[in-house]
Chains A and B, each alone.
Chain A
Amino acid sequence: MERVSNSKILIMSDITKSFSGKKALDQVNFDLDRGEIHALLGENGAGKTTLMNVLFGLVSADEGKIVLKGQEVRITSPSEAIEHGIGMVHQHFSLIPTLNVMENFILVNVKGRKIDIRAQEIREIANRLNLNINLSAKVSTLSAGERQRLEIIRMLYFGSDLIILDEPTSVLTPLETEGLFKELKELAKTKSIVFISHKLNEVKQISSRISVLRKGKMVGTIANDENATIETLVKMMIEKMPSVIQKEPVEGGSAGPLLVVDSIRIYGKKNEKAIDFKPPIKEMIIGRNEIVGLAGVAGNGQRELFNGVAGLERVHDGTITFDGRDITKLSIAARIHLGIGYVPEDRLTVGLAPDLSVKDNLILKDIDKGEYKNGFSLNDAKLRGRATELVKEFDIRTQSVDTPVRYLSGGNLQKVILAREISLQPKLLLAYEPTKGLDVGATAFIRNRLIEYSRNGSVLIFSEDLDELLDICDRIYVIYEGRLNGEVRRKDFDVYLIGKMMGGLVQNAN
């Protein structure tokens, strides 16, 4: 039976876990008070997810003890964890894409409650959270943000009293994040929450205590008061911080534009116009050595536009001219060959082949090149050499180049993609949310790489983080409902103006 007198709902002590001989967790202590929001902070790969997976029964610890509600427990599966009242929203989604929203709820049976009651309850939870969900939409048609929302609602619905959120805001828009925080504070009155994040400002904003993990070791737990400054937390989190390079501004281009996307139309899955460029701004132009940003709320056609330029999506109307050539009808391979690199939204199934090794993924686009062949065979030594170099150059943290990429953490996955794309020296790099979900160190690293790269090529970047675009871009286009709603030059950058354009409130035709 529960011992109510105990203020700690959870005590984890001396948790150690090794993967293939490497310690992912080393004698970690962690505890959670009833009704607190406890932030678990750390860089990518620090072991945050692993620690919580131990609690959730997904990973079994080599050593250590878990005391839950005053009793020592052994949790060996997520279903046991759910029975214990533990709920976890994962960083990577665990929904079944071919089912609709409602069916995903019904999958886990909650004490025989009737389906119509459930729908009612789900709607209530969703409304309280200010998260819109359409219960009959198929999960595969939802955006990443919508899926994340759904996961949160689903877990609340299971009635957990200890809630783990693994980087929940990484897919939410700023407005949604605000709403989520409000609800979390409300929830914390009755429930205990572990909030995993690497975003310092969020952690400061939401938590009562902060625990910092670094390379598998618990650096410390501090109360979130005036002593817990951003500087203190950064020092706890990382050993050394890369300095940020400044972009040298370019105005227009001397050798003519590199990319012109003119009056294109792309139809989405349901035959609606996902992209429809028309006057007043019917063209998107990218000059040489420019970093051009695309601002907009996710779901306004960014994905289709990037896929259209890369050749992954069919362009139904209009033309795309690259380096003076009409590429509208060219194959993906031909566009890669002409010099278009792409860092796609979905890292683990589009940008990478998850079961293949770091090495095989780094050379994904080199495979047909003569220089890597010995007659009919692949020159494995040379490919391995190239992969090893890239791992070093881009500081990709992996046990070896033969590790399947699906074992890498988010930041390292992104580094693998970026290393491959940049090393191919494309003329244009399309970067879709390149720093999304990454920690401060990895974000700074990737931004620096993009800026350095713009000395030789051009970049089109989409980011939901407007500050990021303002920091590194020469020019920003705003996209709203599939059309270009504004174009702003660096000297005219203004957060409020761009924000309004993103909401479709104002339009400018330059």
Chain B
Amino acid sequence: MQTERLYNIVSNLIVYILAFALAIGLGALIIWGFLGINPFYSLSLIMTTALLSYNGLLSTVLYLVPLTLIGLGLAICYKARFWNIGADGQMIFGAIFTMGMALFMTRYTYSSLVVPLLLVMGIIGGAAYGLIPAILKVKFKVSEVLSSLMLNFVAIYLMTWLVDVTGPWKDPSSAELQSYPLPHTYFLPYEYISLLAITVVAIIIISYLYHRTSFGYKLKVMSSSFQAADYAGINKERQFIMIGAISGGLAGLAGALQILAIDHLLASTFDGIFFGYLGIFVAWLAATNPVYIIFAGLLMGTLINGGYFMQAISGVSVEFVYYFEGVVFISIIVFQLIKPKLRRLLKID
């Protein structure tokens, strides 16, 4: 089994390197050919700004954290072949719950328990929202792909309504469509350290659930064979419900952190880059392995954050990052097909 494992690691590595090389190569051609901009300069900007400068690195963290949390939850969903694409809506719902609770409490009090309470509200909001497609699937056999996608739109409209001109949370003193601001005492303290700590704790908890509990064990059985899960008397419905709640909760936590550490208010432009969808890519890139998620999150975070710097400095639009993501996604699928050939080249069977 040692060689098998080694083979898997090596061949996956090769697949990923090829995919990235292709995306970078094609991207460089486009930048150079169509825009006439030096591609190596602009591409290297992504790295130097997002990873090698102090301020750049800090803002990379702000992308890394939600991407990792969402990717983690989706990884669990996809293990059980529960095709949740509603992390976006779940994140928004987490943010709404957090903001709602914060607005409600500003009328009353401050205590050191406020921030933890607001985080829990975010988790509850996301989990509740994540439960809906799971329940619809279990009770009424509604495809989770459809229901979770539709719920994303519902969440966006609800959020927009809350902060709309006549919305209940709209701050009349602001020209933008946004809520009353969060009081300073409700901000996440030591924001960068706290964000990273919360992310690491989430990874540890999910890895523990996956590797050490009967919930995780059943997930593995389901990922290998639904029929075997049925045969063993595993309650798949219950698993789906838990998965819906857990992944929704993680997305909701991402939403809460976005409010408490970064935005400090709820605006109609919340989640403008669609973290919930990018999270699908993160989960998938990490091959749904909880421990690899943070690296995939880091990669994606670097690309996005670096992309903004690249746009500002070299004039290559940030949309280039999404092109990049797409090419990598497709080429990984294609390169997976050549794995059997690699197997023979490496002489591992």
Residue numbers of A with Cβ under 8 A of B are 17, 19-20, 59-60, 76-77, 310, 312, 331-337, 342, 344, 346, 349-356, 360, 364-365, 367-368, 373, 376-378, 380, 399-400, 402-404
Contacts of B235 in A (CB 8 A): 331, 333
Contacts of B4 in A (CB 8 A): 20
Over the window 69-106 of chain B, the binary record of Cβ atoms lying under 8 Å from chain A Cβ atoms (1 yes, 0 no) is 00000000000000000000000000000000000000
Supposing A20-B4, A367-B214, A377-B213 touch, asked if A342 and B224 sit within 8 A by C-beta, the answer is no
What is the bound-complex CA distance between A377 and B214, given in angstroms?
7
Over the window 326-349 of chain B, the binary record of Cβ atoms lying under 8 Å from chain A Cβ atoms (1 yes, 0 no) is 000000000000000000100101
Contacts of A353 in B (CB 8 A): 220-221, 224-225, 228-229
A367 in contact with B217 (CB, 8 Å): yes
**B2 interface hit (Cβ, 8 Å):** yes
Q: How large is the interface on B (under 10, 10 to 19, 20 to 34, 35 or more residues)?
A: 20 to 34
B218 in contact with A367 (CB, 8 Å): yes
Supposing A20-B1, A60-B347, A333-B233 touch, asked if A351 and B228 sit within 8 A by C-beta, the answer is yes
**B319 interface hit (Cβ, 8 Å):** no
Q: A350-B230, A377-B213 are in contact. List 5 more A-B contacts (CB 8 A).
A: A60-B349, A312-B231, A350-B228, A351-B228, A353-B225
A350 in contact with B221 (CB, 8 Å): no
* Nearest CB of chain A from residue B340's CB, rounded to whole Å: 8
**B227 interface hit (Cβ, 8 Å):** yes
A365 in contact with B232 (CB, 8 Å): yes
Q: Which of B210-266 contact A (CB under 8 A)?
A: 212-214, 217-218, 220-221, 223-225, 227-235
A380 in contact with B228 (CB, 8 Å): no
Contacts of B349 in A (CB 8 A): 17, 19, 59-60
The 8 Å CB contact of A377, one of B1, B212, B227, B347, is B212
* Nearest CB of chain A from residue B231's CB, rounded to whole Å: 5
A364 in contact with B228 (CB, 8 Å): yes
* Nearest CB of chain B from residue A431's CB, rounded to whole Å: 14
B230 in contact with A332 (CB, 8 Å): yes
Residue of A nearest to B209 (CB): A376
Supposing A333-B235, A378-B213, A378-B214 touch, asked if A356 and B227 sit within 8 A by C-beta, the answer is no
* Nearest CB of chain A from residue B110's CB, rounded to whole Å: 34
Shortest 7 CB-CB contacts between residues of A and residues of B:
A333-B233, A353-B224, A355-B224, A353-B228, A332-B233, A353-B221, A350-B227
* Nearest CB of chain B from residue A74's CB, rounded to whole Å: 11
**B55 interface hit (Cβ, 8 Å):** no
**B3 interface hit (Cβ, 8 Å):** yes
B224 in contact with A376 (CB, 8 Å): no
Residue of B nearest to A336 (CB): B233
What is the bound-complex CA distance between A377 and B208, given in angstroms?
8
- List 26 A–B pairs whose Cβ atoms lie within 8 Å, in order of A's numbering: A20-B1, A20-B4, A60-B344, A77-B344, A310-B231, A312-B231, A332-B230, A332-B231, A333-B233, A333-B235, A336-B233, A349-B227, A350-B227, A350-B231, A351-B228, A351-B231, A353-B224, A353-B225, A355-B220, A356-B221, A364-B232, A368-B214, A373-B214, A376-B213, A377-B213, A404-B1
* Nearest CB of chain B from residue A349's CB, rounded to whole Å: 5
Contacts of B2 in A (CB 8 A): 20
Contacts of B214 in A (CB 8 A): 367-368, 373, 378
Contacts of B232 in A (CB 8 A): 332, 336, 364-365
What is the bound-complex CA distance between A193 and B214, given in angstroms?
49
The 8 Å CB contact of A331, one of B3, B225, B233, is B233
B225 in contact with A349 (CB, 8 Å): yes
The 8 Å CB contact of B231, one of A20, A76, A344, A404, is A344
Contacts of B3 in A (CB 8 A): 20
* Nearest CB of chain A from residue B275's CB, rounded to whole Å: 30
Contacts of A349 in B (CB 8 A): 225, 227-228
Over the window 103-129 of chain B, the binary record of Cβ atoms lying under 8 Å from chain A Cβ atoms (1 yes, 0 no) is 000000000000000000000000000
A378 in contact with B212 (CB, 8 Å): yes
Supposing A19-B349, A403-B1 touch, asked if A354 and B233 sit within 8 A by C-beta, the answer is no
Contacts of B228 in A (CB 8 A): 349-354, 364
What is the bound-complex CA distance between A76 and B342, given in angstroms?
12
Contacts of B221 in A (CB 8 A): 353, 356, 360, 364
Residue of A nearest to B5 (CB): A20
What is the bound-complex CA distance between A344 and B3, given in angstroms?
32
* Nearest CB of chain B from residue A5's CB, rounded to whole Å: 33
Contacts of A373 in B (CB 8 A): 214
Contacts of A76 in B (CB 8 A): 344
Contacts of A310 in B (CB 8 A): 231
What is the bound-complex CA distance between A76 and B235, given in angstroms?
44
Supposing A19-B349, A60-B344 touch, asked if A356 and B224 sit within 8 A by C-beta, the answer is yes
Supposing A312-B230, A333-B233, A342-B231 touch, asked if A350 and B225 sit within 8 A by C-beta, the answer is yes
Contacts of A336 in B (CB 8 A): 232-233
Residue of A nearest to B235 (CB): A333
What is the bound-complex CA distance between A333 and B2, given in angstroms?
36
Residue of A nearest to B3 (CB): A20
Which of A332, A342, A354, A373 counts the most chain B CB atoms within 10 A? A332
